Structure 1
Amino acid sequence: MNTLSTLLSLVIQIYTMILLLRIWMQWARCDFYNPFAQFIVKATQPVVGPLRRLIPALGPVDTASLLIALLLSVGKVFLNPYVSVSGIYIIFSAALILIKTTGSLLFWVVLMLSIMSWVSRGRSPVEYVLIQLTEPLLRPIRNLLPAMGGIDFSPMILVLLMYVINMGVTELLSNIAIPLAYIWSWA
């Protein structure tokens, strides 16, 4: 049973990342004619499309996709065999799982962009979307860093900042009386 719940949790996390990627792509105004962007839209459209008729977007944020990602995170709370929470703690736990998934997505996007910059050198449509996604986050870091002779340390600094924030939130959650730290580490 534990293997099945772990596998289902992984599938939920991957689909949640795809939904968050759709939200992020709309926020960053990525080129939606890109083949990678078309894949993200086609993978999420059957679920997001009908809900979009009921829930309009709030500016650049696709609220229908965000709601579905939150509902998937609520489902992930119920899959955790070590935690029994109820009431408002379920929504709070799901929001924490969603934040953790967003940080994990950001890490993987920065890592993929770094690896692809060595291999494809700007010729891949996936790399083009990844550049559009990360540029609003990396530009302020690049503006603060001095010139390093052609080496870009901004992705490494962004990942380090994410790690520090993750550790701080995990420490904060470990001081809460309810077992939310287990949810945080399990997510």
Structure 2
Amino acid sequence: MVNTFSNIGVFILATIGILFLFAVLLRFLMQVGRADFYNPLSQGIVKVTNPFLRPLRKIVPGLFGIDMASLVLALLVGWVMIIGAGFLAGAGLLNPLSALLWSLLGVLMTLIAILFVGMLISIVVSWVAPQSTHPALMLLRQVLEPVYAPVRKIIPPLGVIDISPIFVFILLTVADKLLVGFAQSAHMPQLVYNLFWHIPF
């Protein structure tokens, strides 16, 4: 019975934590992509993250136009998820420094997975409804543009066919595999690994 309640506690913590982590990472990507903050979905993400980002920005300034406060908040969310899951699972207090390293790896893997799945959705929609102006799709295009742009400078579109997503998919997959390999070499516990979102293959 104790194990059942522990598993339920970890599940609830992981679900709430990963959803909030999604919001924080999307807020970061929105800032990088200069997304439309008047978009209804953008407004929702801003409302969820602002109570935590506003005080944090007083301590953590931006750097070269990058919203460092969002990245620090994402690391803190991952760290709290790891420490909390370890406590609920009966593992006790995990090493805070190790938890910070695992949080960094988990946040990066989650960010890669968000971009990967976002690209899949964008590509499918471009086939099915290329002229769609749904707020979620508009925001997705704005978030993904900074990812595509550097690749397009090296590999321009072939006429009307943009092949940059293919190479971005490859780069994201390689980056994810490298991170997973490093996590394994750092002996990241399976409990911690399961807290974060990964490329689904």
Indicate conservation of the 8 Å contact 1:110/1:155, yes or no: yes
Question: What letter corresponds to residue 3 of structure 1 in structure 2?
Answer: I
Listed as ranges, the gaps of 5+ residues in structure 1 are: none
The equivalent residue for 1:28 is 33
Residues 54 and 148 from structure 1, CA distance in 2 versus in 1: closer, same or farther, beyond 3 angstroms?
closer
Question: What letter corresponds to residue 168 of structure 1 in structure 2?
Answer: L
**Offset, 1:19:** 0.7
Q: In 2, distance between residues paired with 1:152 and 1:82?
A: 50
Residues 148 and 57 from structure 1, CA distance in 2 versus in 1: closer, same or farther, beyond 3 angstroms?
closer
Deviates more, 1:117-126 or 1:141-150: 141-150
**Secondary structure of the structure 1 residue equivalent to 2:95:** coil
Aligned: 1:180 with 2:188: yes
The equivalent residue for 1:98 is 107
- Pick 1 or 2: higher relative contact order, CA cutoff 8 A, min separation 6: 2
Q: What does 1:32-181 correspond to in 2, within 5 Å?
A: 32-78=37-83, 79-80=85-86, 81=89, 85-117=94-126, 118-119=128-129, 121-145=131-155, 147-148=157-158, 150-176=160-186, 179-180=187-188
Q: In 1, distance between residues paired with 2:182 and 2:73?
A: 27
**Secondary structure of the structure 1 residue equivalent to 2:114:** helix
Indicate conservation of the 8 Å contact 2:105/2:183, yes or no: no
Q: In 2, distance between residues paired with 1:86 and 1:36?
A: 37
Listed as ranges, the gaps of 5+ residues in structure 2 are: 1-5, 197-201
Indicate conservation of the 8 Å contact 1:170/1:181, yes or no: no
Deviates more, 1:18-27 or 1:121-130: 121-130
Q: In 2, distance between residues paired with 1:185 and 1:151?
A: 37
Deviates more, 1:46-55 or 1:33-42: 46-55
Q: In 2, distance between residues paired with 1:57 and 1:49?
A: 12
Residues 146 and 55 from structure 1, CA distance in 2 versus in 1: closer, same or farther, beyond 3 angstroms?
closer
Indicate conservation of the 8 Å contact 1:96/1:184, yes or no: no
**Offset, 1:173:** 3.0
Equivalences, count: 185
TM-score w.r.t. structure 2 length? 0.77
TM-score w.r.t. structure 1 length? 0.82
Q: CA RMSD in A?
A: 2.6
Indicate conservation of the 8 Å contact 2:118/2:140, yes or no: yes
Aligned: 1:11 with 2:16: yes
